[in-house]
Amino acid sequence: MRGRGKRRRVRFRLPTLPWLHVISLIFAAVTTVIVAMLSVLGGMISYRPLRYLASPSTSESMAAWWPLLVYGPWLVASLSVLRAALHRRGAAHSWAVVVLFSTIAVFLCVAHAPRNAPSMAVAGLPPVAALVSFHQLVRQITLTSPPRHALPRTRGERGVPR
């Protein structure tokens, strides 16, 4: 019985997150919701002009689906950019697709607008707002999770390949 000393009780504690990190995650979540709302609203506003441009040359049922040719690649590339941001990878090709199809959406929506500056600005604003908001969302994600090379190394990691 002599070999036994006092046993120290180890209490289980939940890991605590610093307040700054919690607030950062909340801002990222709010930004995500706002970007989703802006993207959906921009698509709804741009849908009618894009559909109208396709209706003279195609059937009514095909014209209803035509805006997906603009916003489909935009959505797929946007998801690729988000995935790359979460994995801390570059996504230059996907960004090029997002910018290209945002530009196409702006030009097609402006082509349908009346020929005065306020009407053209109102027609072109939804795709631009969606693009800028999406860029800010990606910035929020990359700020929330820093790149791996910026993380401090532990002692045992020196010779371990990743």
Q: How far apart are CA 61 and CA 104, in angstroms?
A: 22
Q: What is the pLDDT of residue 145?
A: 59
Q: What is the pLDDT of residue 131?
A: 92
Q: What is the pLDDT of residue 144?
A: 62
**What's the CA angle centered on 120, arms 137 and 130, to 5 degrees?**
10
DSSP result, 25-83: HHHHHHHHHHHHHHHHHHHHHHHHHHHHHHTTTS-HHHHHHTTHHHHHHHHHHHHHHHH
Q: How far apart are CA 67 and CA 3, in angstroms?
A: 79
Q: What is the pLDDT of residue 54?
A: 79
Q: What is the pLDDT of residue 97?
A: 96
> At a CB cut-off of 8 Å and minimum separation 6, what does 117 contact?
none
Measured CA distances, 44 to 2, 35, 68, 119, 123 (Å): 78, 14, 12, 17, 12
| pLDDT per residue of the chain (162 residues) written in tens, 0 to 9 | 555 666 777 776 666 668 777 887 888 889 889 988 988 888 888 888 888 887 777 788 887 888 888 888 999 999 999 999 888 888 999 999 999 999 998 998 888 888 999 888 888 898 899 999 999 889 888 876 555 555 555 655 555 554
